[in-house]
Amino acid sequence: MAPSFAGITDFLNGTVLAAGVFRSKNSPAESAVPLTERREHSMFNQSFDRRDFLRAAAAAGLWFSGTPLVGRAAEQRGAERGKSLVTFWMSGGASQLETWDPHPGTEIGGPTKAINCSIPGAQIAEGFPLLAEQMHRLSIIRSLVSKEGDHERGAYHLKTGYRPDPTVIHPAIGAIAAKELPSPGVDIPHFVAVGSEPFPARGGYFGDQFDPYRIYEAGQFGANLEPHVEAARHERRLEGLKVVSDSFSKGRSKRLEQTLHQHTIDAALRMMKTDQLKAFSLKDEPAAVKAAYGDTPFGKGCLLARRLLETGVRSIEVAQGGFDTHADNFTGHTLRAGILDPALSTFIRELAERDLLDSTVILVISEFGRSPKINPLQGRDHWPTGFSCLLGGGGIKSGLVIGATDPKGEKTDPTDPIGVADLYATVLHSLGVDYEKEIITPIGRPLKLSDGKKVERLLT
């Protein structure tokens, strides 16, 4: 009994030590200022100088217009342009067998047929004839492996690259990109999520300011962007706000500055006024372009994503739901393919035409795949081992097909498995983010942005 007792006490001490180099060890001298030390990472507990403040403000997406602009992102093309990330999120768990990894003519393949695509020797499901022509611009991974078979946990894992941990909330990959790659001159939010889905991406330990700005319906202007009163009165109200803020500022002006309250308001006001807001509107797009994307919420979302990209938005997520096909899997996927095919293919074609493909990492992914076994309801259940994704653009090698799943569905594990963390290490690397950088999280534990290893084969 004794060793284990000592063991766990050590363990608790150990956790404490491992968890925080910032934590005092209760010696009186050290414990005098435990909070300062422990919370050194916190934005609000530092003595701020102006540089720190600007850095914090920039990191918080609150860049102000006074800063020198590095040329408008919208006008930049090719290598001079900073990289962005667009994730197409297939909410509910898209079946690999009905999308990028069909096994026609086998028992597990069901009625789904396959067609050739522009990657020599590779086939995708027959519901994607338009995308098939664009596939040479992407690569297919058919061997993603995860251990999370629940929607919420799976979505967390596939959005952050980390498995859920009750002690810390990791930032989504889109939030990492938005934080690590500031976008000066962009007055609209740097991380935008389009469409509604049950487990939205989060800013996690970076803070709420890195949560995505949500557009529930593409084409609908963002909410709350118009003042209730006419311009002159609005200006007068803002003057009133300044009077009230000045009054509160007495005796705490520096501390008040650190709250970023006024800077958040300024950023919101800039957003209300900026020309860039028109990126959210689809009105000016030619009818033919709209038709090519498809008159569906997802199609509009993809068109919106292209417009946001052109404006310089760093991360965009467009969600399409309805993939949780425990029953009637094949009809469900046929319907969704009809939505995805025109939207995704037009998006990729337009990016290539507008010279945006090299600066945009594209990811088409789900929280997990679906079981090879077809259940009695003609459905497929959750399947976190051996599922598929598409990725490309932005320095990712195209035309590759990585991994393979067992055509008989007997072997659970695919060949050449790729872990989720490794996938995201690769994505972050190609975006130009040092994914091994350690961040001191609010719990005092240093965490890498991704604990995976980049997959060299996927990089150009």
CB of 360 to another protein, least distance (A): 24
> Given candidates 66, 166, 286, 376, which one binds another protein under the rule CB under 8 A?
166
State yes or no: residue 460 binds another protein (CB under 8 A): no
From residue 367 to residue 406, the character string flagging contacts with another protein as x (rule: CB under 8 A) and all else as - is ----------------------------------------
Residue count at the site for another protein (CB under 8 A)?
87
Within the chain, what is the greatest distance between any pair of CA atoms?
Answer: 77
Q: Which is nearer to another protein, 166 or 286 (CB)?
A: 166
Judged by CB under 8 A, which of 262, 281, 334, 378 binds another protein?
262
Question: Would you give the DSSP letter of residue 391?
Answer: E
Q: Does 44 bind another protein (CB under 8 A)?
A: yes
Q: Which residue stretch of 102-110, 260-268, 329-337, 385-393 sits at the interface with another protein (rule: CB under 8 A)?
A: 260-268
**Residue 295 in the binding site for another protein (CB under 8 A):** no
By CB under 8 A, the residues from 194 to 253 that bind another protein are: 207-209, 211, 213-214, 222-228, 233, 236-237, 239-241, 243-245, 247-248, 250-253
Based on CB atoms, which residue is closest to another protein, 215 or 362?
A: 215
Q: Is 195 left (phi over 0), alpha (psi -120 to 50) or beta?
A: left
Residue 281 binds another protein, judged by CB under 8 A: no
Which of 298, 303, 366, 301 minimizes the C-alpha distance to 335?
298
Binding mask 126-155 toward another protein (x if CB under 8 A, else -) reads ------------------------x-x---
User: Between residues 34 and 321, which has the closer beta carbon with respect to another protein?
Assistant: 34
- In order, the DSSP letters of 33-49 are SHHHHHTTT-TTSS---
Give least dist CB 418 to another protein, A.
Answer: 18
Cβ-based neighbours of 313, under 8 Å, separated by 6 or more: 84, 183, 186, 188, 189, 190, 191, 192, 279
Which residues between 416 and 435 bind another protein (CB under 8 A)?
Answer: none
Angle, helices 173-180 vs 151-160, to 10°: value is: 30
Q: At its nearest, how many Å lie between another protein and the CB of residue 405?
A: 23
What is the CB neighbour count within 10 angstroms for residue 132?
A: 22
Helix (H) or strand (E) holding 390: strand 385-392
CA distances from 434 to 114, 394, 430 (A): 39, 15, 9
Decide: 389 and 141 in contact? Cβ < 8 Å: yes
Cβ-contact 267, 61 below 8 angstroms: yes
By CB under 8 A, is residue 412 in contact with another protein? no
Which residues lie closer than 8 Å to 190 by C-beta, 6 or more apart?
Answer: 61, 178, 182, 183, 313, 314, 315
Cα torsion angle, 422, 428, 430, 436, sign: negative
34 vs 399, beta carbon nearer another protein: 34
Question: Is residue 48 close enough to count as binding another protein by CB under 8 A?
Answer: yes
Name all contacts of 249-254 with Cβ < 8 Å and 24+ positions apart: 254/48
Contact predicate 443/383, CB 8 Å: no
Tell me which of 61, 82, 93, 110 binds another protein, using CB under 8 A. 61
CB 100 within 8 Å of CB 388? yes
**Nearer to another protein among residue 230 and residue 284 (C-beta):** 230
Asked if 26 is part of the footprint of another protein (rule: CB under 8 A), the reply reads yes
Minimum Å gap between C-beta 201 and another protein is 13
Nearer to another protein, 397 or 453 (CB): 453
- Assign 3-state DSSP to the chain and report helix, strand, coil percentages, each to 5: 40, 15, 45
Least Å distance, CB 106 to another protein, is 29
> Among residues 256, 277, 282, 335, which is the contact residue for another protein, using CB under 8 A?
256
Instruction: Tell whether residue 42 is a contact of another protein (CB under 8 A).
Output: yes
CB of 320 to another protein, least distance (A): 22
- Rounded Cα gap, residues 357 and 392, in angstroms: 8
Rounded least distance, CB 408 to another protein, Å:
23
